[in-house]
Structure 1
Amino acid sequence: IVKYRSKKVKMSSDHHLGLNVSNNGEIDHTTNLSQNISALFMKADYSDITLKVDGLEIPAHKVILAARSEYFRAMLYGGMRESSQTEIELKGTNKFAFKELLQYIYKGQMSLNLLKEEVILDILGLAHQYGFVELEKSISEFLRQVLSINNVCAIFDAARLYQLNYLTKVCATFMDSNAPDVIAHESFLHMSIGALKELIIRDSFYAPEVDIFRAVVEWGKANSLDSGPDLNSVLSCVRLHLLSTNDLLNVVRPLRLVSSDTILDAISMRTSCKDSLSLYRGLLRLDENVAHKKFGSQVLQGEMRAALLDGDSHNYDMERGYTRHAINETGDGGILIKLGSQCIVNHIKMLLWDRDTRSYSYYVEVSIDQKEWTRVVDHSNFFCRSWQSLYFEAKVVRYIRIVGTNNTANKVFHLVSFEIMYTNTQVTIENGLIVPRHNVATQVASAIVIDGVSRSRNALLDGDTQRYDWDSGYTCHQLGCGSILVQLGQPYLIESMRLLLWDCDDRTYSYYIQVSVNSWDWEVVWDKTRDHCRSWQYITFTKRPVVFIRITGTQNSANEVFHCVHFECPAQIDLDEISNRNEKPFSQDFRNRPSSHNPQQWSQPVIADVIIGSEAIEDDDNSSIASIVEVNGPRCIGYIIPPDIVHIEVNEDDELR
């Protein structure tokens, strides 16, 4: 007979109250499971394998190792010799690092803040060896956060060894920005040959070349490489042509590590190759403006110099907020900027004075020493306005000269703001001009509507293709006089455009389009004066420089005004995309559109090559007899009813009759 006390029974029944059970009946005790598995770490209980690491015997469990790592799964259950062993020695493995990794295997946790950096790097190597990808990523991110002069060389070496490309790139960028400190630090002497060569061969590893040479010599001594092929391979990465003649003769030559012929070649190269990126080193600050006072940059030439590099691109008017120079025929002078140090750059953003509709022409040159100048941008034959976004091949630069050649209002060139930087943005350049992928006929890109009537001046360029009606949302001009004139912010190489004609009813338009780079020499690129067009228009022509676009209407079937809702260039949908989307550019004559729908059909089914919206067709009694729907064929932007079709059907196979 077993007797129970009522009080104990109550305690037993209440013992597990409070454990989590969701409203839908799901039970989640993963925490308990994790704790139970974690308790097996370094315990002989149920152990079926012993791992010998650097003299330390560690009990483990095959099934846990295999479940957590493909490496151990193959070793312990893949038919290898170790599959039948109860004791396995892991050679060349740091026992402290392995214990931390094993704890991670059992617990899924690791406290990196409590570990020494050398142990963390060993764990990173083990994570790479045993295939713990997520742990690799987490350690890499931690190392990125704690990068310093003290540890960056070791981390860079490890990242290269384990092919951690992101961490390698982060380390290289950090060392680029701190090159003088890196080569002066003791850890520099312990870098591998491969890591050292990869570092000093970079154009952006910017330090005095004589200091780089001395650091390589010290590295050779620290690694017992006073001479030989290994040291020579590293020395070949030093740019001796960047050393002064005095340093070549008094620092390099006495060490007898470099031949006399090599020294003479370096002296010769200093005078023969001026415009080559490989000739120089420069500081690289990704997407950061280096023409700023905080980096020691200054304006050396031009009137009212203080305004140009102050970062203020909003507060300016006719009297203040810009730097200027007089425009003359000789082209001398200009605005001259000196950067605080040599920098690798490939992108300029600058603001031309734009409080009215005036346009400027200009060119930009760069130099290292003000002796040899390279023209990187030449817009002297184009009209430009407001913000200029300029791209060119990456160059090492110390001086920038901006020379204005024309101002449509007077003889002075006005520059409000100037920025120069290096960017990874991919831009296609042909003949010195950008071939844009995105629409540049926008206010953000400094485009404006010069001529045309609208309730909102730049409604044509605002990107709104939905909200327009009889009273607003379009730009227009009277037929027979005037036109719609758009100016882009700067010259681009253009080969396509797209525009939306006002289409709230069935009216049609005729028109033509001209382009120019200076507003007086015009070329016709599109002629639809004999066609009857409506809605979306897709325009293509031979690629050419474009600044101005003039759209001139010649006919409107409803009244004497030409209306355009939207304009873009280049077209943000090309012919290939139209084909992929089963669309066709639309231009159709509606003059003979049938007024009635007398039933009639082809003798044979015809696969549709158009789509005509979703329109009900009614018979003489005004009852719907058909509905034109989307079919399995190329689609047309717009609405087509050819004049010889008076009845259209879609059968159950989606064939258009």
Structure 2
Amino acid sequence: SEKEKEIFQALCRWCHHNGDGPEAKEVMSAVRLPLMTLSEMLNVVRPSGLLSPDDLLDAIQTRSESRDMDLNYRGVVVPEENIATMKHGAVVVKGEMKSTLLDGDTQNYDLDHGFSRHPIEEDGRATGIQVRLGQSFIINHIRLLLWDKDSRSYSYYIEVSMDELDWVRVVDHSKSLCRSWQHLYFPARVCRFIRVVGTHNTVNKVFHLVALECMYTHQPFTLEKGLLVPRENVATVQGCASVIEGVSRSRNALLNGDTSHYDWDSGYTCHQLGSGAIVIQLAQPYMLSSMRLLLWDCDERSYSYYVELSTDQQHWVRVVDCTKVACRSWQTLTFDRQPASFIRIVGTQNTANEVFHCVHFECPAQVDMVVKEGRPGPDQLKPECSSQNSNSQSLMSQKPSMSPPI
């Protein structure tokens, strides 16, 4: 590249000024010869005499045999700052309704405006929504906001490139259902172009993207099979998780983190035994190996249940089977690590009635919070939990309808 040629010429001037001793060899080792064109190597580097013929031949071989994205490109690092902004020279070069993607507004969008889009092709080969960065940056973290004003989900993948010809896929959620904010991590890459290609929308044939941010982060992260292995609980409303099946007075009571305020009438999510389940959708697929439940425990009843995981709501893997066990209160569950964006909890028995009730769910299990495993969570029964009003019309004593009680 022209930049590498300039670096080489600057180092040449240094060598001519300081002599061509051992220091010169060390200085010249900073040149990334494979980034230079064949013409530059033959007509600029070779006449200088500062590099051996073997070094030149090795560089020529590397350049000719390597794909472009495997070359050791130079890139700028701006840690912990979004560089997909107009301030940093980024521009949307492909996609429909380009103007709002990088404007930083993640609040004002609706059915008609505030997003970029592209039609979804059957073979997934669409050009997608493409951003050209202001210069070559090193990035390892991308955040997307998928349009989320209803319950739809999207599938997509992300590729990066230096020359718009050789693309490397850094995120592949083309077979998973995702929604709302996506927090994506991958091994650091130098890139100039980023493209997001939607492969599925559960409502129509268009991919809608409200915002794209990218940066280099020093925050540690762990990946397995390209998916994030989370440390913090990702089954939260703040993390864009939601309860998509199950009956509750409050839609996301299961995920609000409240493990103290529940009684006969509220604070839990339930489903009728033998019908349906409690299903949580995470914002994106994660690699999970643990979770924690709080089963309703205001009396001495016990429950049996099983848990399944999926990334697409079609193929489910059973990771927990407590169908033959009498379970009470807190349940910390571990299993072989699995990809999941959906968790399905299916109650199979309740010693008190025909409904399965769960107060709290988290994944992965936050083991730094000590709980009394398999026993009532509170040290003392709450007054309202000590006896059941015989006239109560709550879901605890009635079979729940398929819509939350008012």
Task: Give the whole-Å Cα distance in 1 for the aligned partners of 2:293 and 2:372.
Answer: 14
Distance apart, 1:390 and its partner CA: 0.9
Distance apart, 1:406 and its partner CA: 0.8
Instruction: Kindly indicate whether the alpha-carbon contact (under 8 Å) linking 2:69 and 2:167 is maintained by their aligned counterparts in 1.
Output: no
Counterpart of 2:9 in structure 1 is: 214
- Aligned counterpart for 1:256 among listed residues 26, 49, 55: 49
The amino acid across from 1:332 in the alignment is A
Verify: 1:460 aligned to 2:267, yes or no. no
Task: Give the whole-Å Cα distance in 1 for the aligned partners of 2:253 and 2:165.
Answer: 48
For 1:291-343, what per-residue CA distance to the aligned partner results, in whole angstroms no more than 9, with x for missing partners?
11111111111111111111111111111111111111232321111111111
Gaps of 5+ in 1: 1-205, 589-611, 616-657
Distance apart, 1:520 and its partner CA: 2.0
Aligned 1:471-620 pairs, distance under 5 A: 471-573=265-367, 585-586=373-374
Instruction: Kindly indicate whether the alpha-carbon contact (under 8 Å) linking 1:501 and 1:534 is maintained by their aligned counterparts in 2.
Output: yes
- Aligned counterpart for 2:181 among listed residues 378, 381, 387: 387
Give the 3 Å change call, closer, same or farther, for CA 363–326 of structure 1 in structure 2. Answer: same
* Secondary structure class of the residue paired with 1:295: coil
Instruction: Kindly indicate whether the alpha-carbon contact (under 8 Å) linking 2:301 and 2:350 is maintained by their aligned counterparts in 1.
Output: yes
The amino acid across from 1:567 in the alignment is F
Instruction: Kindly indicate whether the alpha-carbon contact (under 8 Å) linking 1:380 and 1:405 is maintained by their aligned counterparts in 2.
Output: yes
Counterpart of 1:441 in structure 2 is: 235
Distance apart, 1:244 and its partner CA: 3.2
* Secondary structure class of the residue paired with 1:538: strand
Counterpart of 2:223 in structure 1 is: 429
Task: Give the whole-Å Cα distance in 2 for the aligned partners of 1:420 and 1:484.
Answer: 35
Distance apart, 1:613 and its partner CA: 6.4
Verify: 1:373 aligned to 2:167, yes or no. yes
* Secondary structure class of the residue paired with 1:293: coil
Task: Give the whole-Å Cα distance in 1 for the aligned partners of 2:373 and 2:169.
Answer: 41
Give the 3 Å change call, closer, same or farther, for CA 255–431 of structure 1 in structure 2. Answer: same
Instruction: Kindly indicate whether the alpha-carbon contact (under 8 Å) linking 2:69 and 2:162 is maintained by their aligned counterparts in 1.
Output: no
The amino acid across from 1:586 in the alignment is G
Distance apart, 1:278 and its partner CA: 6.0
Q: Aligned residues: percent identity? A: 56
Verify: 1:300 aligned to 2:88, yes or no. no
TM-score by length of 2: 0.87
Distance apart, 1:433 and its partner CA: 1.0
For 1:430-489, what per-residue CA distance to the aligned partner results, in whole angstroms no more than 9, with x for missing partners?
111111111111112211111112222111111111122222221122233222110011
Instruction: Kindly indicate whether the alpha-carbon contact (under 8 Å) linking 1:277 and 1:396 is maintained by their aligned counterparts in 2.
Output: no
Counterpart of 1:337 in structure 2 is: 131
Verify: 1:323 aligned to 2:111, yes or no. no
Instruction: Kindly indicate whether the alpha-carbon contact (under 8 Å) linking 2:115 and 2:208 is maintained by their aligned counterparts in 1.
Output: yes
Task: Give the whole-Å Cα distance in 2 for the aligned partners of 1:415 and 1:287.
Answer: 22
Distance apart, 1:494 and its partner CA: 1.0
Instruction: Kindly indicate whether the alpha-carbon contact (under 8 Å) linking 1:364 and 1:400 is maintained by their aligned counterparts in 2.
Output: yes
Give the 3 Å change call, closer, same or farther, for CA 318–507 of structure 1 in structure 2. Answer: same
Instruction: Kindly indicate whether the alpha-carbon contact (under 8 Å) linking 1:364 and 1:402 is maintained by their aligned counterparts in 2.
Output: yes
Verify: 1:230 aligned to 2:9, yes or no. no
The amino acid across from 1:517 in the alignment is T
Instruction: Kindly indicate whether the alpha-carbon contact (under 8 Å) linking 2:76 and 2:138 is maintained by their aligned counterparts in 1.
Output: yes
TM-score by length of 1: 0.55
For these two proteins, the number of residue pairs brought into alignment is 379
Task: Please identify which structure carries the higher helix content.
Answer: 1
For 1:411-440, what per-residue CA distance to the aligned partner results, in whole angstroms no more than 9, with x for missing partners?
111111001111111111111111111111
For 1:27-62, what per-residue CA distance to the aligned partner results, in whole angstroms no more than 9, with x for missing partners?
xxxxxxxxxxxxxxxxxxxxxxxxxxxxxxxxxxxx
Task: Give the whole-Å Cα distance in 1 for the aligned partners of 2:52 and 2:191.
Answer: 31
Distance apart, 1:275 and its partner CA: 5.5
Counterpart of 2:157 in structure 1 is: 363
For 1:62-99, what per-residue CA distance to the aligned partner results, in whole angstroms no more than 9, with x for missing partners?
xxxxxxxxxxxxxxxxxxxxxxxxxxxxxxxxxxxxxx
For 1:343-377, what per-residue CA distance to the aligned partner results, in whole angstroms no more than 9, with x for missing partners?
11111100111111111111111111112111111
Aligned 1:162-181 pairs, distance under 5 A: none
Task: Please identify which structure carries the higher strand content.
Answer: 2
Aligned 1:154-169 pairs, distance under 5 A: none
* Secondary structure class of the residue paired with 1:555: strand
* Secondary structure class of the residue paired with 2:27: helix
Larger Rg: 1
Task: Give the whole-Å Cα distance in 1 for the aligned partners of 2:320 and 2:47.
Answer: 72
What is the root-mean-square deviation in Å for CA atoms of aligned residues?
Answer: 2.4
> Does 308-317 or 237-246 show the bigger shift?
237-246
For 1:509-528, what per-residue CA distance to the aligned partner results, in whole angstroms no more than 9, with x for missing partners?
22222221111222222222
Distance apart, 1:558 and its partner CA: 2.6
